[in-house]
Structure 1
Amino acid sequence: MMHVHRNELAILGAGLVGAAALAFLPLVTGGFWLTLSVNIMLYAALCTAWTLFSGPTHLVSLASAAFFGVGTYSVAILIDVLPFPALLLVAAVSGSLLAILVGLATLRLSGAYFVIFTLGLAELIGQLVTWVQTNFGGKIGLYVFTDFSEAHLYWMLLGLTFVIFMSGWLINRSRLGFALRIIGNDETVARHIGVDTALSRIVLFAVSGAFIAVAGAIMAPRYAYITPQAAFNPMVSFTVVIMALLGGTRRLWGPLVGVIPFTLVMDFISGRFPNHTPIVVGIAFLAIVYLLPDGVTGRLEAMFRRSIGQRDMPALPDPTPSGENP
């Protein structure tokens, strides 16, 4: 049976209150700030879904753009056939199936090999979609027309982010979460105690891929005209990794610490120096890896532990006899 501590209930309660408060945001603001809030909520969902897999396994996945693009194209292809809620389900299934296929081929790999493969995945799928549309559709790109406003997109992304958090909370307290923590600490030990490392990774990779694909499906109406270059943009993968690493992946909520400031910075940079955005992303990635390897939350936790240790440390006796000067 799953045991829930009081502090965990307090965190869940605070999360519910926070989500309810955020739901009122579109009612009190609009225009630029609402658009910026949609971007923040989008990356909150993407980074949290990414951390579901990469956090416990310590495998850096650059496949977010591939899952995002698959979800976007699921809506673009079937928008005239199915209602939008059904399209979200199609996107989730498509993202999970892609993650399973990729997982079966690559999750036995580790380190740089896995990173390189996932890096090329979005480009590979984007080129395939371009080839199919050019040779069989006569044009590149598809129209997506809906009645959704920025407020609708914000509410859907907020709901998705909440579902991702709840899923992560449940997974962390399940046998799958326990197995993944062992794999992340020492994969050899995990194998020796009978953990199916490949299956555990594939299952969680599929869950993460499904959520990212749903985020792509939700954002499809914003693009209106979807092209492979926009849907499978590799910058999505890099931005997600940078935000997650900046916030820290030790906790599921850690990436949120990196999402808000980095989104604000990127909005400023892209608006004033659009041609230099990739350079800024590259510099940010290097700086985070070298200066904040555990992210902001990891650094704060380390400082807190040191302060607690110093406060609890007993005072050393004075080696100088009483009344004598050193």
Structure 2
Amino acid sequence: MPDIIDKNRGTLGLFAIVTIALALLPFVVSDYSISFFYLMFANIALATAWSFFSGATRYISLATSAFYGIGVYALAISHQYMPIAIALVLAAIIGFLVAALVGLSTLRLRGVYFVIFTFGLTELFHQVINWWEIKINHTATRYIFSDVSNTTIYLTLLAVAVATVVGSWYVSQSRLGYALRAIGEDETVARHTGINTTWVKVLCFALSAAAMALVGAVLVLRFPYIDAPTAFNSSWSFQVLIAALLGGPGRYWGPMIGAIPLVVLSEILAGTRYFSIILGLCFVVIVYFIPGGLAPLIERHWQSLWRRVREKAFVP
């Protein structure tokens, strides 16, 4: 770990400065700006968590909404019996355990079969929770009894987003990250080289789900109540997928680049149906024109610019 930090000291220093500036932001801006920024942090964390597993292994998952909803309900149920902080940790643990259980039984699937299963997982959890609430609890809603401020939600989601991005970067530089990419390139070859592909896939799938569940648990604190259709809204899965693909799932910072413009557009087009059309158009543009995402284009442009600057600097 020290070697990795030494090689990226400048990048980490800049990232730390930006993080500190963002942490001070809620004390000088309006409540609306705070809400806008913490939605951006939530999308960055979700897109990065998705890319952490799916971007490397190429197992395209549409289960983001399922794990997000698990976090929502874990918090909604547990916060009545324990402090909010412990309930948030519990939500992440439950998301991890559910994903590990699901992963053990389904990560043998590949291609379209895995995509279909993960999409159906959201609907499965939605229907089970909805049936339980109506038939057993005789209510369709769960009330959230908390006095957590917008600033606290902001700072918590900032911490989650930073931890997700930094964690994704660190793992990408480790043996686990190399194992993930090897699985994405050719899982059979990876298995024959000694990689325990089952363990790697289940662990990383569960870590990704834990981050998604934690985001759901934090975001639900802004609502007075929640119900199953809202918690397990499949639009999260598609928005996060498109954000990651737009930014570039092959780079740890790519999903962040993709999430930011989508959040801005969703805020501008709030209350209209145009945002769904924009998402569809983004998907078409990604497939036909930028299949690698924006991150590789930005990197190439930056390297070209830096090379020209260096050449001019050394010209007598």
TM-score between the two structures when normalised by the length of structure 2: 0.92
CA shift for structure 1 position 3: 2.2
Alpha-carbon contact 2:68-2:231 (below 8 Å) kept: yes
**Residue matched to 2:59:** 59
Number of the residue aligned with 1:187? 187
User: How many residue pairs are counted as aligned between the two chains?
Assistant: 310
Identity of aligned residues (%): 39
**Is the contact between residue 92 and residue 210 of structure 1 (CA under 8 Å) also seen in structure 2?**
yes
Residue in 1 that maps onto 2:150: 150
Shift, 1:104, TM fit = 1.2
What are the ranges of 5 or more consecutive residues in structure 2 without an aligned counterpart? 310-316
Name the counterpart of 1:86.
Answer: 86
Amino acid at match of 2:154: Y
Question: What is the one-letter code of the residue matched to 2:74?
Answer: S
Q: Could you say if the C-alpha distance between residues 37 and 304 of structure 1 is closer, same or farther in structure 2, counting changes exceeding 3 Å? A: closer
Deviations 1:202-241 (A, max 9, x none): 1000111001101111011112211001111000111111
Work out whether 1:227 is the aligned partner of 2:240: no
Which digits, 9 at most, give the CA deviation of each residue in 1:102-127, with x for residues without a partner? 21122111111111111111111011
Aligned to 1:316: none
The answer as to 2:268 corresponding to 1:293 is: no
* Cα 1:5–1:95 shift into 2, 3 Å: closer
Tell me the equivalent position of 1:214.
214
Distance 1:5 1:228, change over 3 A: closer
Matched residue SS, 2:230: helix
Residues 169 and 300 from structure 1, CA distance in 2 versus in 1: closer, same or farther, beyond 3 angstroms?
closer
**Aligned 1:258-297 pairs, distance under 5 A:** 258-271=258-271, 273=272, 275-297=273-295
- Residue 288 (structure 1) shift: 1.9
Higher mean Cα deviation, 184-193 or 3-12?
3-12
* CA offsets 1:68-126 (integer angstroms, 9 cap, x no match): 10001011111210111111111111111111122112211111111111111111101
Q: Distance in 2 between matches of 1:298 and 1:177?
A: 19
SS across alignment from 2:270: helix
Larger Rg: 1
Cα gap change, 1:82/1:181 in structure 2, threshold over 3 Å: closer, same or farther? same
1-side partners of 2:256 and 2:293: how far apart? 11
2:246–2:282 Cα contact (<8 Å) kept? no
- For structure 1, list consecutive stretches of 5 or more residues without a partner in the other structure: 312-326
Alignment deviations for residues 250-300 of structure 1 (CA, whole Å, 9 cap, x no partner): 2111111111111111112223x2x34333322322222222211111223
2:178 paired with 1:165: no
One-letter identity of the residue aligned with 2:257: V
Query: 1:303 deviation in Å?
Result: 5.1
- Give the whole-Å Cα distance in 2 for the aligned partners of 1:224 and 1:91: 18
Change (3 A) 1:280 1:165: closer
Are 1:46 and 1:215, in contact at CA under 8 Å, matched by a contact in 2? yes
Q: Assess if the C-alpha contact under 8 Å between 1:2 and 1:173 holds in 2.
A: no
Question: Please, what is the CA RMSD of the aligned residues?
Answer: 2.2
